[in-house]
Amino acid sequence: MNRTSLYLSVLLISSSLVSCGQAVSGGKAKAIAANYAKDPIPKDLSKYSQATFAAGCFWHEETLFESIKGVVNGVSGYAGGNAQHPTYEDVETGATGHAETVNVYYDSTKITYPQLLQVYFEAQEDPTQVNGQGPDEGTQYRSIVFYRNAREKATALQYIDKMNRSGKFKRPIAAEVTPYTVFWRAEDYHQHYIDHNTDNPYVANVSLRDIARFQSLHPEMIKPGHSFAAK
């Protein structure tokens, strides 16, 4: 389903809920997004560590991670399937096996892989939801931790096991833990989408709300001027 077409179905739900971390609205959201657009992206990203995650819409996953201290860039794309050079239209059918994914470049002297896992899992609306997050449903929105080595695999599995044993969740954590193989960069118009589209109904009523929820709980992790959480 097209994200914008989800707006009406989501609005009735979101407008009736009052949750911690409500997002700022209107012009203030646009001003905060402008700070993201000004963030310098290093020309040489090869010296930075990488982590790759899928969890619903890559628009807000990318923006969420780019708000975190120590993260230098996020790239939206597709991973987890078999099709070569998939397009957005291909992936959204659910037939390619790919999931909307974000490749995160980070400075490992400023933030650790376990901390990125914390961001990834705590920011999810429901980490037990299978094949989706919130209103985004389908295998293309499933949750996946793509590991690059044995250490990342073990860390992710231990984190999930700890969540499952915490007693907080009635169902098992849904995220797959899968070896990283190839990441296909999404079309240009998907990159840093929220930086320039805070007035998009889906962004305003779903993405910013989800981002703000985590940012309100962990302000110490957020770059100055990058929090969408209402005070």
* C-alpha neighbours within 13 Å on the C-beta side of residue 188: 0
Mean pLDDT over the full length of the chain: 91
Taken in order of first residue, the domains within the chain and their CATH numbers are 4-14+23-218 (3.30.1060.10)
Q: Which two tokens stand for residue 176?
A: 């797959």
CA-to-CA distance for 137 and 91, rounded, in angstroms? 13
pLDDT(17) > 80: no
CA-to-CA distance for 60 and 203, rounded, in angstroms? 8
pLDDT (tens digit, 9 = 90+) per residue, 150-170?
999 999 999 999 999 999 999
> Could you report how far apart the first and last alpha carbons of the chain are, in Å?
33
Q: Which two tokens stand for residue 59?
A: 């628009």
**Centroid of chain to Cα 187:** 17
Q: Are 22 and 231 in contact (CB under 8 A)?
A: no
Radius of gyration of the chain (CA): 16
Catalytic residue among 24, 51, 54, 57: 57
Question: Is 57 noted as a catalytic residue in this protein?
Answer: yes
Buried b / exposed e along 8-43 (16+ C-beta atoms within 10 A): eebeeebeeeeeebbbbeeeebeebbeebeebeeee
pLDDT (tens digit, 9 = 90+) per residue, 75-108?
999 999 999 999 999 999 999 999 999 999 999 9
